Amino acid sequence: MEPGILLRGTTIWFTGLPCSGKSTLARLTFEKLGGLGLPVEFLDGDDFRKHFSAGVGFSKEERSSHLRRVSTLCRLLNKHGVIVVASFISPYRENREYARGLIGDRFVEVFTDSSVEVCMKRDVKGMYKKAMAGEIKQFTGVSDPYERPEHPELLLKTDLEAPEESLVKLMNLLRDRYGIPVP
Amino acid sequence: MEPGILLRGTTIWFTGLPCSGKSTLARLTFEKLGGLGLPVEFLDGDDFRKHFSAGVGFSKEERSSHLRRVSTLCRLLNKHGVIVVASFISPYRENREYARGLIGDRFVEVFTDSSVEVCMKRDVKGMYKKAMAGEIKQFTGVSDPYERPEHPELLLKTDLEAPEESLVKLMNLLRDRYGIPVP
């Protein structure tokens, strides 16, 4: 498929607790869509912060400023027909609603819903442990709030199902509701 | 022409003193290419700062940080086949060389070369006057340096020719050297 054949971009926005499986699933999504020859870009917190939000911290205000930048970039890429796979904790509802408002009806909020207990078990870097010891401040799920999405386009119980199962559900949604040509 | 038919993006980077005609010519370029149905995006200093570099100042270090972000965005859009028309004073050579290094051989540096005297005459907002009175600090051409490009892809004597004449030269270059389908 030629790049550009998809005339309208889409933002697939993964939100959820640290280690809830956002980035694993986002990466699988990116590879799947890219493998189909679709124009797609992957954005995640660490990388975006390095390039566009260096020095921006994790207070509510700073997270908001950071996520407004993310939203603007998603919109810009969507405008040129690029599908954006965005993986950001994005713990505050108002930031996700800002993104939705800017991006419009091609904003697909995917909530990787996993209990804190399971997230902690999956935390290979030991971030939760450090957060609970007070060594990391403003850590979502421990010392910072996470506001659950009220009406996400897709809720995935990532503590109960394998990433491959979640991926199938997402691909079905993208095909059936958004017309993205996934076989 | 379908979006995406241009498989490789290009960054047309306008540099020059304030009021040297960068944005006028960049706007004409954007409208010309967009009118041909080519995928094109316009980026300029004020707008980019508002969205991605709010609070970033005008010291050498801050300008560098800001222009690294600009460069990253140009590269990202180019990667997806979008032509970027970028209008930034970008007074330091090393920042423009950074952009060139990141973007590669599709980086087209266009120097709008105009004497300070002519720039001042064209300055409808009176910025030069304010800068000379010390009311604006770190103003390129007055209290901050401008390092002239040594080997720009195009040098336009914007103090001697009309924007429409400059535009023709640029379009010829884009067609003949970069294969951009301009009639």
Residue of B20, B90, B114, B166 marked catalytic = B90
Residue A7 confidence class, pLDDT cut points 50, 70, 90:
low
Number of domains in chain B: 1
Judged by DSSP in three states, A179 sits in coil
Q: Write out the H or E segment, with its range, that includes residue B161.
A: none
A54 neighbourhood in chain B, CB within 8 Å? 65
Inter-residue contact B111 to B95 (CB < 8 Å): no
Q: Is residue B170 part of a domain?
A: yes
Residue A74 confidence class, pLDDT cut points 50, 70, 90:
very high
* pLDDT mean across residues, chain A: 93
Q: Is residue B64 part of a domain?
A: yes
Inter-residue contact A23 to A44 (CB < 8 Å): yes
Say how far residue B88 (Cα) sits from the centre of its chain: 4
pLDDT computed for residue A117 by the predictor: 94
Give dist(CA B156, CA B167) in Å, integer. Answer: 9
| Residues of B at the A interface, defined by Cβ within 8 angstroms | 2-5, 7, 39, 41, 51-52, 54, 65, 68-69, 72-73, 76-77, 80-82
What values do phi and psi take at B84, rounded to 5? -110, 130
For A3, the closest of B69, B72, B80 (CB atoms) is B80
For A4, the closest of B4, B51, B65 (CB atoms) is B4
What pLDDT, in 10s, does the model give residues A95-144? 999 999 999 999 999 999 999 999 999 999 999 999 999 999 999 999 99
ipTM: 0.89
Q: Is residue B2 part of a domain?
A: no
Closest CA to A159 of A126, A127, A112: A112
| B53 flagged as catalytic | no
User: B39 and A65 in contact by Cβ < 8 A?
Assistant: no
10-residue block means of pLDDT along chain B (183 residues)? 57 97 97 95 94 91 95 96 97 97 96 96 94 94 95 97 97 95 90
Q: Is residue B6 part of a domain?
A: no
pLDDT computed for residue A55 by the predictor: 85
Residue A33 confidence class, pLDDT cut points 50, 70, 90:
very high
pLDDT computed for residue B4 by the predictor: 40
**Residue A170 DSSP one-character state:** H
User: B81 and A4 in contact by Cβ < 8 A?
Assistant: yes
pLDDT computed for residue B3 by the predictor: 41
Please measure the distance between the N-terminal and C-terminal CA atoms of chain A and give it in whole angstroms: 13
**Residue A104 DSSP one-character state:** -
Q: Is residue A134 part of a domain?
A: no
Closest CA to A1 of A26, A30, A34, A28: A34
Inter-residue contact B90 to B71 (CB < 8 Å): no
Structural domain for B29, as ranges: 11-176
Q: Is residue B50 part of a domain?
A: yes
Q: Is residue B135 part of a domain?
A: yes
Give dist(CA B98, CA B121) in Å, integer. Answer: 32
Q: Is the pLDDT of residue A1 over 70?
A: no
Three-class secondary structure assignment of A43-99? EEHHHHHHHHCCCCCCCHHHHHHHHHHHHHHHHHHHHCCCEEEEECCCCCHHHHHHH
Q: Is the pLDDT of residue A2 over 90?
A: no
Look up the CATH number of the domain holding residue A47: 3.40.50.300
Q: Is residue B125 part of a domain?
A: yes
B77 neighbourhood in chain A, CB within 8 Å? 76-77, 80
**Comparing A22-26, A50-54, A153-157, B95-99, which segment has the lowest mean pLDDT?**
A50-54
For residue B98, the distance in angstroms to the closest alpha carbon of chain A comes to 14
